[in-house]
Amino acid sequence: MKNKMLGKLPKIAPKDVSQTENFVDFVDNCFQAYNGARLREACQLFAEKMVADDSVVGISLTGALTPAGLGISSLVPLIEAGFIDYIASTGANLYHDAHFPLGFDLYQGSPHLDDVVLRKDGVIRVYDVLFDQKVLFDTDAFYTHLIRQPVFQKKMGCAEFHYELGRFVDAREKALGVKNISVLAACFRNEVPVYVPSVGDSTIGMNAALTALEGYKIQFDPNLDVNETAAIVYHAKKNNMKSSVFVCGGGAPKNFLLQTEPYIQEILGLKEDGHDYYIQITDARPDTGGLSGATPSEAVSWGKINPDKLPGTVVVYTDTTIALPMIAHYTLSKKKSRQKRKFYKQLGSFVEKMKNDYIKTKG
C-alpha cells in the first residue's frame, strides 16, 4: 500500500546521462535532488513562466560577471531574445563590459598567483581572470572622454546615462566589426533600461566624479531611478502582466530590484501584491541577517513577493557563473525569442501614470 503523500510526488528516476538527447533533456532528467534540483526548477521556472509573453523580467547583477565572459555568453543572448526587460547592476559589471568592444584581451589565469609579482608586472587579477593594467587606464580614458560629451552635461537618471553610453559602445562594436559582445550595447539596441543603485561605487562613477572636478555638469538623479523602476513594475501589473525578478547574487542591485513593490505599496499607497516570480542565485546564508542571503519567504513580510506566489520562487545555492549560463542555455534551447518590450522610451509615460494614480489616492 502506497503512502498517500509520497504517492503524489515524482520518483527519483533519472536517465543515464549518456542517454539524454540534448541540454534541456539533460537538466530535466538528471538534476533530481539538492541544489541540482533547485537549478532544474530555476531553469524550468524561467523558461516556462518568467519569459512568457505576459511577464516582465527584471534581472539584478552582482559580482564580476562581465570580465568572466558572462555578458557575452549569457546576458547578451537573453537580451537579444527579448527575455530581459530591465536591469539593476553594479557599476563594475558595466565598466568591465567595455573591455571587449574596445578590443582589449582578458585571460584565464589562476587564483593562486603571487599578487606582489603581478603588481610588479602590471597585471590585474580578478580571482582567476587576468589582464594588463593598461586595460584599466585605457577604459578609464574611454569613459572619461564619453562623459565629457555634450549629451551628458545635465542631470539625468541611470537609464538615460547608460542608454547614451550604450550608443557609443555600440558604435565601438561596429568599428571593430564585431557583434553582441557588450551588455551596454545590447541594451541600447533593444532599449532595455539599465540602473546602478550605487552609481558612485564603480570606476564609471569615479570617472564621472573626475569630470565634475573639471567643471563638467554631469549629475545623477537617484529619485528618477526609484520612480522609473517602480513604474515599470506598476505598468506591468496594471496591464495584467506578471512581474518576474531574477536575482544574480545579492547586494544593492538585489534590493533595488525588489524594493519596487514596497515603494508602490508602502510609500505611494497604491494597491499591489508583490512580485509574482522570483529566482535567486546566491552563496550567502540567510542566518547572518544580510540582504544577500534573505529568502523569498522573508521578502513576503516586506511586501516584495506576493505570498500567493511562493511556489513560483526558487533559491539556488551556487554561484552565478555556474547557474546563469545553464539557465540561459536551457531557456534559449527551449523558447523562441519574444517581442522586445523596449521600455526605455516609454519610461516617462510609465512614471506619469503611476504619479497620476498616486495623486488620485491622496485626493
- Inter-CA distances, 306 with 50, 160, 363, Å: 15, 30, 27
Residue type, 238: K
Q: Count Cβ atoms within 10 A of the Cβ of residue 288 and give its class: 0-12 exposed, 13-18 middle, 19 or more buried.
A: exposed
Q: State the cell numbers at 14.
A: 533519472
Cβ neighbours for 291, distance < 8 A, ≥ 6 positions apart = 250, 251, 254, 255
First to last CA, the chain: 64
Residue 294: helix, strand or coil by DSSP?
Answer: coil
Helices 222-238 and 158-176 cross at an angle (nearest 10°) of 90
Residue type, 96: H
CA distance 8 to 212: 63
Q: Enumerate the β-bridge partners of residue 280.
A: 247, 315
Instruction: Return per-residue pLDDT of the chain as tens, 363 residues.
Output: 568 888 788 888 899 999 999 999 999 999 999 999 999 999 999 999 999 999 999 999 998 999 999 999 999 999 999 999 999 999 999 999 999 999 999 999 999 999 999 999 999 999 999 999 999 999 999 999 999 999 999 999 999 999 999 999 999 999 989 989 999 999 999 999 999 999 988 999 999 999 999 999 999 999 999 999 999 999 999 999 999 999 999 889 999 999 999 999 999 999 988 899 999 999 867 766 665 656 666 666 666 666 665 568 899 999 999 999 999 999 999 999 999 999 999 999 999 999 999 999 987
CA distance 72 to 180: 7
pLDDT at 10: 85
Residue 316: helix, strand or coil by DSSP?
Answer: strand
CATH class of 42-362: alpha beta
Half-sphere exposure of 336 (CA within 13 A, CB side): 3
Domain boundaries, the chain: 42-362
Q: State the cell numbers at 340.
A: 522586445
The label of the residue with cell 569613459 reads 143
Helices 251-258 and 222-238 cross at an angle (nearest 10°) of 50
pLDDT at 9: 83
304 catalytically annotated = yes
Catalytic one of 304, 309, 342, 360: 304
Q: Give the Cβ contact number of residue 228 at 10 Å.
A: 25
pLDDT at 362: 83
Q: State the cell numbers at 90.
A: 553594479
Secondary structure E strands in the chain: 55-61, 86-89, 107-108, 123-126, 129-132, 155-156, 194-195, 219-220, 242-248, 277-282, 313-317
Residue type, 64: A
CA distance 326 to 279: 14
